[in-house]
Every structure is written in structure tokens, then in C-alpha cells.
Structure 1
């Protein structure tokens, strides 16, 4: 009997040992997963007060609650998986006053696949979720392959990017810091310490045509240069860009030549040049100019809200000029002013902003946007906006 007791005791401790080993292995796997898994995001509340041009008509107020989540998993040395999206609830005047506002709010026409969903819509509110990053990345040696929804970042300048063929963005969409992406396959080869070749393939949103383009980057004379070409949005493209310094000032530029693959529109050139400089007292100055060979030379008229934003439509005027000044008035507070002037219809925009950090992950932004011009000019009917935003990052 006692021998049986010893036998059972032996089996008990053997079971405990195996259980402990299995638990340690599971904890090790869990710990390794946590080390390779990264998650962050933010929560924002922004209120927008829109005022008509004459300031005497009704004011319109929108409220936006915006949550973003970013997930990234490093599966070994070669594989990386990324998933990011945002949840937004807007309520106020815009959903109530603008026809089919919900369709515009969660619009993903620039993507091949629709990853946007309206949870609920009402007469004055929309709750929408959308995914704007979802990719698998494989890197080995000098090669990188990325498949899925990603940002193809070919732009060089900071306001207008004629080289940004796949995911154009608007300067006025200041609340979307991450900027839109593209459903694409990216193949990149690093052929040197400062040079690389990229090829991108992306279907259109109706799969009725396919976009493909290549980019070559290299460094010479302490400047970063790039040349590109391809077929995107039913246009053949050839372009170039550069980035360097002149006397300590940043000097950037890019240009793209567009040849439409359809009748009724002439070939065009869109070019941009930029200078920026930061003084020792933290004063930052930035000026930028864009040229559109097919841009208007007279009155442009009010901006069409349904106009598709592409590298060809970054400026509807033949010339537009951007100027900006930023100053760090305290370690936690930054003040800025900026402007855009259309040279041909003489309409202009003036903006002012102040950002204050209450802690490392909590800040307040106040951003005023004011539009001026004749009635038939681009910015003549823009009125004014006052935006204030709280942002908590985690």
C-alpha cells in the first residue's frame, strides 16, 4: 500500500513538473508576443464653428469625436503586420445640412476595396469606422515586399506633392495627420546606402484599370534625388524631385508631367518648389510655390466639393503661393500663422494656430481658417472656421 502511495506521489510531482514546464513555455510565448506586439492610438474631440462670409447669417457648429487605433506585430526578423483605423462620430450642422453627407464622410473611393462602415446615421449625426492601413511586410536582405493598404510616400514637399501619385491629400485636412493610403503591392530594392528602386502596383476602385509606377532614388552632391514614371489614374506620368539644403535652409521640389489616356484634356505639368529655415531662437519660416500649366488664369469660381483630389488638381490656379511662420513661445506652447494666395483670381486664405501641451500625451490645438476673395473666386465663398481640439495619445 505504501509503495502505491509513493507511486501516486511520484506521478503527482511529475504532473506538476510537466504543468510548470508547459506554463513556463506558454508564459514565454506570451511574453515574446507582447514584446513583438505594438499598439497605440489617440482619442480626440474637436469642435468646428463655421461662419459665412458676411458674418451675419447663421453660424454652423460640428462636433467630432475621433478615436484612432494602430496595431503592429513583428513576427520574427522578416515579417511585419500592420493594421490601423479610425472610429469617428460627427454630430451637428454638416450631417444635417449637406446632402448625402454620410456617403462623403466615410468615402473610400480612392481605394480598391471598401473598408468603411457606417454603424448608425441620423439627421444630424454619423458614426463611422474605417481601416486605412492593413498590410503584410516581408524584408530579406536588400529587398522589401509590402502587400495591402499602405501609404506610398513619394512626395517631397510639405504642402503640395505632384509626385504623390497614389494617395494625394489636402493641406486643409489638418485633422488627418496619418494621411490616406492606397491598396497596393510595393516592391523595394535598396541598391546602395542612399539609393533604392521601388515599383508599385495598385488596382482602381472599380478594377476597370490598373495603376503601376516606379521610383528611383539616389544621392549626389549631398542632395537626395528621385525620378519616377508610370500609369496612374488613366494618366501616363514622368516626374522628378529633390531635397537638400542651401545655406542651412531646406530646399525641396518636385514636378510631374501628365499625359491623359483619354480625349478632351491636354497634357500638363504640375511643379512645386519649397524653402524652409529654422533660426536659433526656434522661429521657423517656410515658403512654397506650386505651378499648374493647366490652371486657371482668371476667376476660378467656387470650389466643387465633388472634385476628385489628384496630383493634377492640387492647385486650380496656374500659380499659388504658401507662406508659414511657426514659433515656440514656451517649451509647451507653439504659435503659427500660414497663408495661401491664388495669383490669378487673387483669392486667399489665412490661418492661425496655437498648440499647448498639458502633458506628454495631452494637448490643445486651436486653429482658425479664414477665406477671402471675390464672389466668383476660389476662396470667395469660403467664410471662416474656428476649430479647437483636445487630443489624448496612448
Structure 2
């Protein structure tokens, strides 16, 4: 795998060097402390407490190639150190919607892991009528602020604090412009070395103050159809997603957000998870671990409040509640934009609930994260 990864990197870097290119990226440093209850410890690896240090370098060059092509690359190098030895033995599973594994270990022992991987590697060609993109790319569908069930290509959970980028999907995507505010997007996505061949479409249009979309897909041989709407409801923003999946109940997202003043912003969002369960004994924890689900509960509610202490300092509180088992997860985050190229985040998550509840099993977290852009 290291040889394949190196070959692809050399080809991509050679293309970038040969053409006018733009290099951007960031270096991220994270220190986190997590504390599990006994049941959660057994579920997530066996340790009651977990302290980790992560250094991540992400390079994202872009280059214009002959023939109107644009090369996009995102390469990551990660150094992870765990203060609890022995938890790095397992291999990370291949993320959903990827055809081939483009990651490899450079170094590994009981406490330290150095890995590198390609998260984006695609060629894009734009035309007057639309565009075509082939390769590992970001395909972000949906209008929900926290939950996006119509995002078929690796959505993020609202409580993620170490993963800031959506994982790339291996796909061939075609977008055709139907008008100024309307387009049709078609996606073909081979997955797990051809075990599945997924296809999806999204038709977007505009009506009044609302952006509307119809989506459909055949994912792992299961049919899926959905609708999204986003616009204004008075002075507030309104968003809705509706999704039907074969062999699952209907998923629904309803959200309202409002800028109360230049400093105060608020959001409320409800998520009816068609793949979730109402009883803890039916929760699909393996799907969450594999990255195939972002929640295991059926009815979720989120309340977010954000206050600007200073033009460069922002305080955010996010409360997630499972309406079925009554567990909750509350996150606080203080962000300081130190310069145009540096941000610092101090935050944490606190969960409460019964031992087998959704958020009762998640760890209490304290973290400090810094990022330098270039």
C-alpha cells in the first residue's frame, strides 16, 4: 500500500510542479482527554481514561493542467500518540464510499502511530453546460446544519472534534446546469473494490425564497429517495430533509436558525433517524464504529447557542438530546482567531444517561486544538 500511495503522490506532485499551481493547507495539533464509564470503556477499547496527542499536516495543492483539467489533491500525514498503550493494535476500517484503500502506516508501536493517506485526488473539467469530476472527491449533499440524512457520502456526526473534513468518496460525478439556479448532478460510486456499485442523483431548483432538491440513489442495492428544502421563514432560516430508504423507516430533519443580533446566533434542529432505534438494546453500535451511521438513536434534538465575545473570540454551546432514552451530550467550545492564519479552540463534551443509553456511553471529553493555515 505504501508503494501505491507513493506512486500516486509522485504522479500528482509531478503534475502540480509542471503547471501553475496553488498550494494551501494547515497543520493541526490536538490534545484530548476522554473518560468513559465502565460499559463505554468495554465498547470503545477497554480503557476507562484515554489521553491522546495528535499532529496532523494536510496539504491541498491545486493545479491547472492542459485541456482545461484541474487537479485537486489532499494529502494528510498524522502522528498520533496515546498515553494508554495497547489501543493502537487494530486496523482502521476502510471508510464507506471508497473503492480502494489509499492509506498506510509509516510507523507503529504500542503507543505511537504515524500514518499517511490521500483524502482527495480528482480531475475536474468545467464546460459552459456543467462539469465532470473523476476520482476521490468531496460530495456534500443536504441542507441540515447538524444532521444531513440525504448526504450519502460520509456525513460527520455533530460531536466530532478531531475530524474536520468530510472523508472523500471515490466517484465519477457529472453536473449539468439547467438554469441560473437549477442543476442536475449524477454520481457513480464504486465501493469496497467493486463489491457495490452505487449510483445517485440530485436535482436542484428554486421556488420563491426556497432552494429545493430531489435526490435518489441505489446504495448497496437499496433504493433511496429524498427531498430537501432551505429558505427563509420570516427572519429565520428554515431547513428540512425527508428521506425514504428501502428496509428502513423514514428519516426527517427540521431546523430553524436565527441571527438574533450581531453577536447572538441560535439554532434548533430535530432529527428523526430512520436507521435508529427507540430502545438501547437495539442500537447499532457496530454501524457507528464503521462510519456507516452518525447516530444510533431514533429521535434526536439539538439546541445551539453562539455568542461573539469579541470579533476574534466566539463562545458556542451545543446540547444534543436523545428523546427516547433521555440521555444528552453537551458541548462547550471557545474559539479564538489569533491571526488570519491561526485559530485556537478550547472545548469539551459532557454526557449523561443510563449505562446503555446513547450519550451515556460516550466519553466526557476535554480538548485543546490549534491550527495554522498556509
TM-score (norm 2): 0.87
Q: Is the 8 A contact 1:300 1:316 kept in 2?
A: no
Query: What is the match of residue 362 of structure 1?
Result: 342
Query: What is the match of residue 137 of structure 1?
Result: 124
Give the CA deviation at 1:278: 1.0
Q: Call closer, same or farther: CA 1:97–1:184 in 2, change over 3 Å.
A: same
Q: Call closer, same or farther: CA 1:172–1:303 in 2, change over 3 Å.
A: farther
Q: Is the 8 A contact 1:108 1:116 kept in 2?
A: no
Query: What is the match of residue 218 of structure 1?
Result: 205
1:284 counterpart = 2:271: no
Structure with larger Rg: 1
2:63 pairs, out of 51, 62, 73, with: 73
Paired with 2:98 and 2:124, the residues of 1 have a C-alpha distance of 19
Q: Is the 8 A contact 1:268 1:293 kept in 2?
A: yes
Query: What is the match of residue 372 of structure 1?
Result: 352
Query: What is the match of residue 41 of structure 2?
Result: none
Unaligned 5+ runs, structure 1? 1-31, 260-265
Query: What is the match of residue 291 of structure 2?
Result: 309
Q: Is the 8 A contact 1:302 1:379 kept in 2?
A: no
Q: Is the 8 A contact 2:333 2:348 kept in 1?
A: yes
Query: What is the match of residue 80 of structure 2?
Result: 90
**Count of aligned pairs:** 350
Give the CA deviation at 1:71: 0.6
Query: What is the match of residue 27 of structure 2?
Result: 43
1:188 pairs, out of 175, 186, 190, with: 175
Paired with 1:273 and 1:189, the residues of 2 have a C-alpha distance of 29
Give the CA deviation at 1:376: 1.7
Give the CA deviation at 1:173: 2.3
Paired with 1:268 and 1:120, the residues of 2 have a C-alpha distance of 44
1:100 counterpart = 2:81: no
Q: Call closer, same or farther: CA 1:72–1:59 in 2, change over 3 Å.
A: same
Give the CA deviation at 1:59: 3.8
1:168 counterpart = 2:155: yes
Query: What is the match of residue 64 of structure 1?
Result: 54
Q: Is the 8 A contact 1:81 1:135 kept in 2?
A: yes
Paired with 1:111 and 1:58, the residues of 2 have a C-alpha distance of 33
Structure 1 window deviating more from structure 2 (74-83 vs 112-121): it is 74-83
Query: What is the match of residue 320 of structure 1?
Result: 300
1:120 pairs, out of 102, 107, 113, with: 107
Query: What is the match of residue 36 of structure 2?
Result: 52
Please list the CA deviations of residues 212-259 of structure 1 after superposition, one character each: whole Å capped at 9, or x if unmatched.
011100001121000011201332111010110111211111121101
Q: Call closer, same or farther: CA 1:295–1:33 in 2, change over 3 Å.
A: closer
RMSD of Structure 2 on Structure 1 (CA): 2.3
Structure 1 window deviating more from structure 2 (373-382 vs 113-122): it is 373-382
Paired with 2:96 and 2:178, the residues of 1 have a C-alpha distance of 35
Q: Call closer, same or farther: CA 1:300–1:372 in 2, change over 3 Å.
A: farther
Please list the CA deviations of residues 72-101 of structure 1 after superposition, one character each: whole Å capped at 9, or x if unmatched.
01236832110012111100136x243634
Q: Is the 8 A contact 2:89 2:110 kept in 1?
A: no
Query: What is the match of residue 314 of structure 2?
Result: 334
3-state SS in 1 of match to 2:216: strand
Query: What is the match of residue 324 of structure 2?
Result: 344
Structure 1 window deviating more from structure 2 (82-91 vs 294-303): it is 294-303
Paired with 2:275 and 2:56, the residues of 1 have a C-alpha distance of 37
Q: Call closer, same or farther: CA 1:364–1:301 in 2, change over 3 Å.
A: farther
Q: Is the 8 A contact 2:136 2:168 kept in 1?
A: yes
Paired with 2:30 and 2:367, the residues of 1 have a C-alpha distance of 7
TM-score (norm 1): 0.83
